[in-house]
Every structure is written in structure tokens, then in C-alpha cells.
Amino acid sequence: MSATKVTVRLTVNGKDYVREVEPRYLLADFLRHELHLTGTHIGCEHGVCGACTVLINGKTGRSCLQFAAALDGAEITTVEGIAGDGPLHPVQEAFHEAHALQCGYCTPGFLMTTIEFLGQNPDPDRDEIRQALTNNMCRCTGYLNIIDAVEDAAKRLREGAREA
Amino acid sequence: MKPAAFDYHRPDSLEEACALLAEHGASARVLAGGQSLVPLMNMRILSPAVLIDINRCRELSYLRREDGVIACGALTRQGEAETSDLVAAHLPLMAAAMPHVGVRASRNFGTVCGSLAHADPLAELPSVAAALDARFVIASSRGRREVSAGDFFVSALTNCIEPDEMLAEVRLPVMPATARCAFLEIANRAHGFAVAGVAASIDLDRDGRCTRARLSAMGAGDTTARLAEVEALLEGQRLDDALIGEAGAAATAAAEPAEDVHASADYRAQVIGTLVRKALRQMLNPQGGRG
Amino acid sequence: MKAIEDFTLVGKTILRREDAYLMRGKAQFLDDLPEPKGLIHIAFVLSPYARADILSVDASAAKALPGVIDVLTGRDFAGDIKLFAPVIEIGGYRPVGRPVVAVDRVNFVGEYVAVILAESPYVAQDALDLVDVSYDPLPSVAGIRDAMKPDAPVLHDHLGDNLIFRTAFETEGFADRFAEGDVVLEEEFRLGRVTGVMIEPRGCMACPDPIATNLTLWTPTQIPHIVRTAIADHLDISESVLRVVTPAVGGGFGTKAHVYPDELIVVALARRYGRAVKWVQDRREELLTNAHAREHILKIRIAAKTDGEIRAVHLDVKTNCGAYPNHPYSPTLEATAAVRMMPGPYRIRNYKYDVCSVTTNTAPTGAYRGTGQPSAFLAIEGMMDRIGRRLGLDPADVRRRNVIRPEEFPYVNVVGVRYDTGSYSQSLERGLEMIGYDAFRAAQPKDRLVDGKYRGIGICNYTEVSGTGAPGWRVRGFAKMPGFDSSRVVVEPDGKVTVYISQADAGQGHYTTFAQLAADRLGVDWADVTVVEGDTSKTPYGTGTFASRGSVVGGGTVIRCSEKVGVKIRRLAGYMLNADPERLVLRDGRVFDPDDAARGLTLREVAETAYSMNNLGLPQGEEHGLEATDYYDPPMVTMANGTHVVQVAVDPQDGRIEIERYAVVHDCGRVINPKIVEGQVHGATVQGIGEALMEEIVYDAEGQHLNANLLDYLLPTAMDVPDLELSHIETPSIDTVGGIKGAAEGGLTGAVPALANAVCDALSGLGVNITRVPLRPSFVLEQIRNAQAAGEGRT
């Protein structure tokens, strides 16, 4: 069994990286320990909890179930890429005002899910929101404030789009 | 949980992938979406020495209608099937099942063929494929062969693919425009891995007689299979309450489910009968039945 | 002292300052911390057997793997680390110590057998596969009743049996009082084993100081000082050289409020190797080895009068300790909690309890949100309904008959716990009103069948223990549990404020709420107050954050400490202004006489005097600096209370339970930040829904853990959560500083019994008796079918 490294080119939050990695190196570990983007968290490593959720070519994916090497050429967005160092994104503002996070460990994953979901469904009802949020698990909040936050974020984004 | 090391190959074509399989055989696994495979690798339940990543085999990414079937290539994502107009129009049973398959993030990357090859008797797509009389196109450097669902699903998490082969395509016969279908599943919470489920499709003639019945259940046994006893009971008959009741009882009687932390065998058997009855009633309802 | 009613920030929803850095991904949890050079990663070889002798450990192949530094076994730690044991002094408890890594014997699946030291986590995992351990499996036992049988395998020879703890209590003349009952009811309730399953698994990292002989342990704990003391005790090192720091903590729920063997191990290894040592568990280890909880059997016998009055209660509780006592609570925590909390909000004067805990070949159990109370209330609230059914009374009326009324406060309950204030009966009434109880009962058919489903209502009227001070811990045998918490409030030379508290946040919003209290007391802008927690070298000693103590004890000490600093501020300002300090107020960052507001000083100006940064000297006898330290030991306990009323529909075709309506009434005394309290109630209630309907750690009879992953241990998702109807009552405590009571656990304590009662009510027409959780559909359908068959058999 060889540990021959593979070259991988990834664009993460708009920045290009070229690295040599073992094929088995999980994307989550690559982001966290190779690029020091530790906002993406690991909760289970079997694809259930969603704490590791990032956007891969615009779609939510479990970074604990992807090999970095297999994503050569992909564009990844992590939680750090939502607002950078600038003002909080409307989704983040909505989470903040709704008290939709407590320990914050699962929150990056929820933010990525919310951004994808509202991009596809800009005016969801609460049941649609609940269904979309099965993409992630939270143990602190009991989800209710997160549902409120997504509802509010949808409104903010619609109003922002009208103003634009 | 970190996976064991492996040799990594990323062929550009099905032919190349098959050549690699011919070379490495049982020590290799095919990586498509990875949503079933990588958890097993992370937990070191499976540690293949060789991983053949087919995500660059663009030729395998298709969902098209041809010769009366919807042909779905090995790289077609579950999410693509979920939003496909072709699937909505011609495979409403699959369209009905898709929202139950995993979650958004797993559907974005998981493939239809990947879920089928995983052969989990509690998964949605294998049952749907069985109920749709799917044909499985298995490729290798020795050529192609096509098998039925009955032959493809051997037992729990076991399919008929040989070590040097891979599932290249699944062919799902276009459902007749008159067909009615229903997909129902039940879990220990509102959304999650099913404890039991039923994928069903029937055709009724002008007199309300069932001309064709296809039913498959999740959790009825250790293998994805059709509910042959129920189908035999229904075909040629008018569906009334009594027959629906009998159909449910037959499904329960024929079931040989597993017992696990989620449910007893008896529960699964009971619930499969209930779901069969519900599915039949739903399909009889003039409003419902088309996905 | 400024009355808390005059606080302007208390009771305000102030949005959390923590949110921005959490949402930007900037917060650093344990595995996010920068890794020191030369870091050693460790991984544990786990026992696959529930009970076995270890014959040999062959690590030669593992050691030969490139990147592996060493592989150590239990013997390699025996010299450095004493047997791991909590300090418990209570009659009926017999101590058991545990090697941090097993030496000759393993006693549960997941027990540590060897330690891999490697250059990376991936290599460490590779090495795990290469360690060859030879075991001689032995007969094992997992269940409580099995462990009590005379022929059961005994885990710890020196005990002679598995009864690690037992105690009893009886009020005078109990038997006679019990005989006065008109009816006797008896029931046995069972709860399944559960655990916290916070989304962040545990881990820890020990970093030797490069210059001095000090060492820093990073660990996501709820009890940093207790961890430090335990490590110092067990490793024979001075607390002065050991610093315990919490990074951001991804949920605690009590599971992270224990001292774990790995914390001792990483410290010992860091000292031995002179290098930083880090360990991060994966989810499987998390579920296998983190403190489990709640596997309880409660047998309750009640003597009641025909009007529903409960004359006497006999409660027998059996709990599952697991293979070893946890640190620092031992199994006595849950056991004593269950029996002491059972009286709840009711006037129960004749009480007898027997409680025991048994060792079994399963993971050690300990604290988890609610600790003993969901069990206690499953029993007593379950009996309220049964008394109603037996006597033909409405279960709400049975509760009304027994509930402690407003005029009875303060009330000392039968085990000596003081209820200073409470809204036990108001909360009950409001919950019933919210759910439309009377209308529901009036319309409810005898067979409970409506539109093809069985529908019922369940009530749980509960008390919630909070803010336990030292006497509260002593009486339960926790000899080394400090009970107090402390704070140090410093006005810096620039007039900003730093508040150091002996607490440890795991998502409860401490950085915001404690700042609210200090800001209010000192009259400064909330944004000018910085809170520092979770660092034993920065904060004074304390107990930590668990058992709903944060707001009570942490809040209490911050209020008192801020007041002490306020006294000095006024004194200095009075000296500087030549004014009477008693007249001066602190507001808007200034100190002034309200009758002469223009003539005042900024807090900064006062601080500059205190720090000798101006030409003014200090008054005679005054010291420099502008700070105070406060140690607050709260009352023995402070009881919060609440009521959950829930309406369910049970589908007789598949046994599934749908929550149709859910009302929560909640009284935690003075509320500091309403939205944060509401968040605690939501979170705890949903954990309760999980525990009632779907969560369970499943062991087979021999101790094999069957569901150590998140596919098989089910947590609620957003689709499992109904919209909760919440109502607050605020009945301030008269015993605590600020009138604050705890808020965090009530949701669980209320949800589990309320849901069980609702399902039981829904199925009572069928004669189904629901006495256990979780209520998986498979179990519920079986009960329904059995009852239907029995019913048919009778006709």
C-alpha cells in the first residue's frame, strides 16, 4: 500500500491553492489543517451530523466524506468565505438576531445549507425550511430559532434583491 | 476515524476504469459519490487497497430516454434525478422516492447507481428499481452484461457484480402514462433512515381491474425484492377494500424482516402490510397516484 | 446595594457578542487550536470485550510503522498516575479506583487498553489496526437486574458484589402513614440509557511551557478547576504549575462536566516527553466512552386518599453505574438526585426511599442534563395520572390536590430541601390553559380514538434543582465539590471593565449575560465589559458550569463582586469630588451625585486615581487598584419550576407518535437575558423529545454496545420539533443574589414525563400501560397490538 501523494488544485473562498496530499486525506482535514480554515468542523465522519458541510462547486457536501485529492479543480466555499472580514452576510445577521446559535459548533454547516437552500427556494414556508434543515444536526438550540432565522434570512435576501 | 491508505486512480473513461478493475479486482472499489463508501472507509469497515475514482468519466453522466427506458449513467447524481423533468414525467415513482433519499448534501454527490450498487435492503432506490423492472448494465473489460433487479440484488449490501466489474448504467422502463404509483416509508423519526417502506406501481384498466402490479418493500427481508405474493393477488382483480386488506396481510405474511435496534422483525412485517394497504388506497384515489 | 429591579440590562434581550466570531468560523474549538511544534497525536486501543483478562499486548508491528513514536500499555502509566477515583463521602458508597489504561482486566467495551503515540492522527489510526491484543473473555453482565443476581459476575473483587452504592431514608412512622391510604398504587418505570451527544466530540491537548515547568491543558470541559485539582491529585503535581483552559466548547450538557482518564493521560505524557500531546475522539469513541446516563428502574408505591391526596410514597430506584464510578460524581449523583427530587412541587410528607447503583460491564454513567429529575418525574407525574384513573379524578385535579400552594412558601420538603419561592400551581394552571385542557378533556372520548388516531394529553409539573451550593453537595456525599463560584471584577486604568469568573461557557452565552450584570451594576456600557472564563490561571477557583448553576452562582458572584468594586469607586470618587460616597450613583460610565449631575467623574478618571496615573494621591488607608474578588456559595439548592403540557396523536397502524401541540411554562426566577433563557428551554425540550421518542444507547445482555454511531443512535432533526408555545413566569428567589434561578435543564425534566404521560393517556382506552422510554414506534405498536389481542380475548 503506497502513500504516494497526489497534486490537487483547489479554489477555496476564491483563492487558488496547489498542494500535494495523500489520496486518503479528507477534505475536512485538508481545509482545517492544511489551509487552517478551521471554521468547518468535524462531528461524526460518517456523513450524518452535517457539521462539516461546505459548498463544493456551489452545492452542499459533506467534507468528511470527500477526499481532497478527488476534488482537483473544484471550487469550495467554507464559512470563512461567506463574509470574509467584511460585514456579516444577511443569513448571518438573521441567525444572530434570532439567537439561532448557542455553542456555534454546528453553525457553519447550517449557514452553508441555508445559503444553498435560499438560493433554490427564496420564499419557503416553515415546513419546507424544516425539511431543508434535515441537512444538519444541532444539539443546543432545539432548531426553533434556526427555523426563525432562515425565514428571516429569506425575507432579508428578497428585500435585498429588490433593492439591487 | 481516518481511512486507511489506498492507491488512487482517476480514469477518464469507462474503458480505462474497467481496465483498472481487471488489474486490481477484489482489492479495488469504485468511487462515485462516496456517500455510502466513504463512511465505511472512515470507520475502517472497508479498507480497499485501490480506489478507482470515476468522477472524470464524463461519458457516464447522463439521464436520457431511449428505447422505452430512461437510461441513467453511473455518474448521474441523485440530485439530478430529483429535479429531472424526464424522471418526473416518465418515472414518477422514482420522483416520489427521491426526497426521502438521504439529505440534500448526500443527494448532491451520491449517485443513483451508487445507491443501487450499495444494495441496502432498507434504501429507497433499490426498491424503486425493483418495482420499476429495472435492468442493470454491468461493464468490464470483458464486455457488458445486463441483469434484472432480481439477479442484481443478492443479499444485504451484496450485489452480483464481479470483482472486475462495475455498474455502468441502470435502465428504467418508462412507466405507462396510465400507471399509478405510490412511495411510502416510515422511520423512527420524521426524516431519516427508513425502518420500512413500499414502492408500488399499478395499472388499472377501464373497469378498474388491475392489469399490472409491481411492488417492492424496504425492510421486508435481507434482500431487495419484489412482493411477488402481493402482485399475484392483485393482478387481474378489482381492487376493493377486501382485496386491499388481503394484499396487506399477504405482504406481512411473506415478510422475513430483520430485527435491529430500531425495530423488531414483527414490527417491520406489520408495517409493511400497512404501507401496502396505504399505497394501494393512495393509488386508487383519482387525485393521487401520479407521483 | 442596587436592587436588581433597578437594573436596566437585566431582563433585556441583548444579542450575543459571541455570535460574530462563531459565525465567521474564527472561534477556536479544541481541534482548531494552533498545534505546537513537535505535537504528539495519541489514539487509544479500545477493548472489544465487555469483560476480559488482558493476556498480552503485542505492539511490535505498530511500533515499526513510520510515524509511530511509541505504544504504551497500562503498566506504563501505573507509576505516574494513581488509580482514578472520585472523592465521595456518603454512607453506603464503596470506593472503586480505575487504572487510566487497563492493566490486567477490561470491564467495558471501549475501555482503554493501549495508547498509540504518533506524528499524525492518520498514522495513529493506522497503528491502532496493528496492535495485537490477546484477551481471555470472561462472563459479563450489562443489565441492572442481572448484575444484582447472586451468580452475577462481580466486577470489583474487593466489593464482593456489584452494589457499589446503596442508601435509604424513611420518615418517622412511615408504615403507619402509608396504611392510612384508601388505595395503593404501584408501578415500575424504566428509562433507557442516553448520553449528551454534543456535536463537538471531546479531546484534549497538554502543552508543556517551553520555558518554565508549567503545563497547560486545553480541554473542552465544563469544570476547569475540578479538572485541575483531579489531575494534580492523581499525578502528584502541584496545582500551581498546571493551567487548565477551555477553548470554545461545542456543547456540554453535563457530559463534558466530568474528569476523564484521557485528561490525566495527556498531561502525564506531555510531562514525560516534554512535548505537546493531543487527543481527539471520533464519534464512535464518543458514544462508547463519554459519560452515559439515565439507565434507571424506578419502582414507586403510593398510598392515596380518595380525594387524590398522596398520603405516602415509597420509591425504590436502581441505577446502572457502569464499569467504574465516574469522576467527580460517582454513581451517587444520579441515584441521590432521583430520590431527592421526586417530591417535586408536591406536598408529600411521608416518604421512604431505597436507592442503589450497581456496577456492570458497560461504560461509566454520570451527569447528563436533568440528572435524576426526568426519572423522578417520570415516576411521580406518571402516578398522578394513574391516581386519577384509579379514583375517577381528572389527573389535573390530582395535581391540584397535592401541589404546594403560593401561601405555603417558603416550604421545606420532606428531605429537607427548602423551596424559597415558586409558582408551582400558577405554572400548572397556565400550562393547562395554554393547551386548552378543559375543552380537550370534555371532548375526549373514552376510547381516545379521534379520526383514526389515539389522542391524549400529558402533563409534567416539575421542580428543577439549580445553583447548588456547598451544603447541597455535601449532603449528597460530594466531599470535594467546592459548591461556590467566584469572580474578580477589575476596572482597568482606561475605565473599561474585565470580569473574571470561575465558570466555563459551552454555548450558554456567558460572555454576554455576565457582562450585562456587571455593566448594570457598574453603570457602564455593556460593550465595555469583557468576560474571561474557563482559565484556571486567570480566574479564581470555582465549581464550574453544570447542574443549572451558571446564572445563579456565576450571576450571583458577578453581582456581588461588581457591588464591592462599586463601593470602592464611590469611595474614591467621593474623595475626589469631596462628596458623600453614599449619595453617588454609577451610570453611563460616570460617577455623580444625582442632585448635581454635571459635577461628576468618568470611571476612567476614578481609575486613574486608583492606578496612580494622576497627581492626586490616595486617601489615607486606601490601596491602589480598582478591583474586588468575591466568592459566592449559594443556598443549598434553588428550585426553579415549570410545566409541560403536550398533546399527542398515536397512529395505531404504525405506532408513530405525533406531537400536535406543546405548551411550556417556565419559571427560572429573575431572567437576565430572555432570548438566551428561551434558547435553553428549546434545546432542553428537544433533547427531552429525543429521549422520550428515539434516543437510546443499546447494549446487549453481555455488554456489547450495539449502536455507537449516529445512524443507529437517533437524534431529533428539525422535522421532529413542533412549534413550542412558551410562557414565562418570573418568581424571583428570595435566597439567591438577584433572585436568579437556574434555567437550563427543566426542558428535559418536563418533556420526558409529559410525553410518556400523553402517550399513556392516548392509549389508556386500550388498556396500554406506558411505563418506559424511549417510545419507539416498534415498541408502541407492540403494546397496542397486545392490548387489542387481550381485549379481543376477553370478548
The three grid cell numbers given for residue C339, joined into one nine-digit string: 430520590
- Would C477 be classed as within a structural domain? no
- Stretch B260-270: mean pLDDT, rounded? 97
- Stretch C85-102: mean pLDDT, rounded? 96
pTM over 0.95: yes
The predicted pLDDT at position C475 comes to 86
- C-alpha–C-alpha distance, residues C501 and C488, integer Å: 7
Residues of A with CB under 8 A from a CB of B: 1-4, 6, 22-24, 26, 29, 45-47, 50, 53, 56, 59-62, 64-67, 69-70, 113, 116-117, 131-132, 134-135
Which of A4-18, B259-273, C4-18, C563-577 bottoms out in mean pLDDT, i.e. has the lowest? C4-18
* Domain closes at, from C615, C632, C649: C632
C209 with C98, same domain: the answer is yes
The predicted pLDDT at position A3 comes to 67
Residue type present at position C48: P
Whether residue C641 contacts residue C424, with contact meaning beta carbons closer than 8 Å, is answered with yes
> How far C683 CA sits from the closest chain A CA (Å)?
4
C573 with C643, same domain: the answer is no
C301 with C226, same domain: the answer is no
Whether residue B139 contacts residue B18, with contact meaning beta carbons closer than 8 Å, is answered with yes
- Would C315 be classed as within a structural domain? yes
Enclosing domain of residue C613: 19-26+484-632
- Per the rule left: phi > 0, alpha: psi between -120 and 50, beta: everything else, B44 is left
pLDDT at A158 over 90: yes
What is the number of domains present in chain C?
3
| A chain contacts of residue B53, beta-carbon cutoff 8 Å | 70
The three grid cell numbers given for residue C64, joined into one nine-digit string: 515499526
Chain A: touching chains (3 or more CB pairs < 8 Å) = B, C
The three grid cell numbers given for residue B150, joined into one nine-digit string: 432480481
| A chain contacts of residue B34, beta-carbon cutoff 8 Å | 65-67, 70
In terms of CATH architecture, what is A6-78? Roll (3.10)
| C chain contacts of residue B5, beta-carbon cutoff 8 Å | 126
The predicted pLDDT at position C795 comes to 45
- Stretch C358-365: mean pLDDT, rounded? 98
pLDDT at C5 over 80: no
C216 with C76, same domain: the answer is yes
C544 with C533, same domain: the answer is yes
Does any CB of chain A come closer than 8 Å to the CB of residue C536? no
- Quickly state the pLDDT bin for C1 (edges 50, 70, 90): low
CATH code assigned to A83-163: 1.10.150.120
Residue C410: φ, ψ to 5°: -70, 150
The three grid cell numbers given for residue C585, joined into one nine-digit string: 450613583
- pLDDT tens profile A5-32: 999 999 999 999 999 999 999 999 999 9
- Pick from B37, B115, B107: nearest CA to A60: B107
Q: Specify the 3-state DSSP secondary structure of C363.
A: coil
- Residue with cell string 439548592: C637
Give first-to-last CA distance, chain C, whole Å: 73
- pLDDT tens profile C542-566: 999 998 898 999 999 999 999 999 9
Q: What is the dihedral of CA C376, C377, C381, C383, to 10 degrees?
A: -20
The predicted pLDDT at position C776 comes to 98
C436 with C346, same domain: the answer is yes
C787 with C645, same domain: the answer is yes
Among C15, C250, C711, beta carbon nearest to A103? C250
The domain segmentation of chain A, as residue ranges, is: 6-78, 83-163
- Would C172 be classed as within a structural domain? no
The three grid cell numbers given for residue C507, joined into one nine-digit string: 454555548
- Stretch A144-152: mean pLDDT, rounded? 98
- Give the C-alpha distances (Å, rounded to integers) separating C547 from C194, C253, C682, C728: 17, 9, 17, 21
Whether residue A110 contacts residue A138, with contact meaning beta carbons closer than 8 Å, is answered with yes
CB contact under 8 A, B35 and A62: yes
The predicted pLDDT at position A163 comes to 73
The predicted pLDDT at position C596 comes to 87
Among C282, C706, C720, beta carbon nearest to B261? C706
- Pick from A49, A149, A54: nearest CA to B108: A54
- Would C476 be classed as within a structural domain? no
- pLDDT tens profile C371-417: 999 999 999 999 999 999 999 999 999 999 999 999 999 999 999 99
- Give the 3-state secondary structure of C139-167: CCCCCHHHHHCCCCCCCCHHHCCCEEEEE
The three grid cell numbers given for residue C43, joined into one nine-digit string: 489514539
Burial class (CB in 10 A: 0-12, 13-18, 19+), C159: middle
- Would C157 be classed as within a structural domain? no
Residue type present at position C552: V
C302 with C283, same domain: the answer is no
- C-alpha–C-alpha distance, residues B234 and B203, integer Å: 11
CB contact under 8 A, C717 and B191: yes
Whether residue B269 contacts residue B255, with contact meaning beta carbons closer than 8 Å, is answered with yes
**CATH number where C125 lies:** 3.90.1170.50
Does any CB of chain C come closer than 8 Å to the CB of residue B193? yes
Among A2, A29, A59, beta carbon nearest to B108? A59
pLDDT at B291 over 50: no
Give the pairing type, strands C310-322 and C296-304. Answer: antiparallel
**CATH number where C315 lies:** 3.30.365.10
- Stretch B181-186: mean pLDDT, rounded? 97
- pLDDT tens profile C458-495: 999 999 999 888 988 988 889 888 999 999 999 999 99
- Would C186 be classed as within a structural domain? no
- C-alpha–C-alpha distance, residues C253 and C259, integer Å: 14
| B chain contacts of residue A134, beta-carbon cutoff 8 Å | 103-104, 191-192
The predicted pLDDT at position C211 comes to 73
C568 with C461, same domain: the answer is no
The three grid cell numbers given for residue C459, joined into one nine-digit string: 402533563
Minimal Cα distance from B193: which residue of C? C711
Pick the residue with more confidence: C12 or B246?
Answer: B246
C454 with C488, same domain: the answer is no
- Would C12 be classed as within a structural domain? no
- C-alpha–C-alpha distance, residues B19 and C579, integer Å: 94
C350 with C431, same domain: the answer is yes
Q: Could you tell me which residues come within 8 angstroms of residue C787 by beta carbon, excluding any fewer than 6 positions away?
A: C763, C766, C767, C768
C263 with C326, same domain: the answer is no
pLDDT averaged over every residue in chain C: 96
- C-alpha–C-alpha distance, residues C222 and C447, integer Å: 48
The predicted pLDDT at position A135 comes to 97
State whether the Cα torsion C674-C676-C680-C683 is positive or negative. positive
Q: Could you tell me which residues come within 8 angstroms of residue C269 by beta carbon, excluding any fewer than 6 positions away?
A: C40, C42, C115, C117, C206, C277
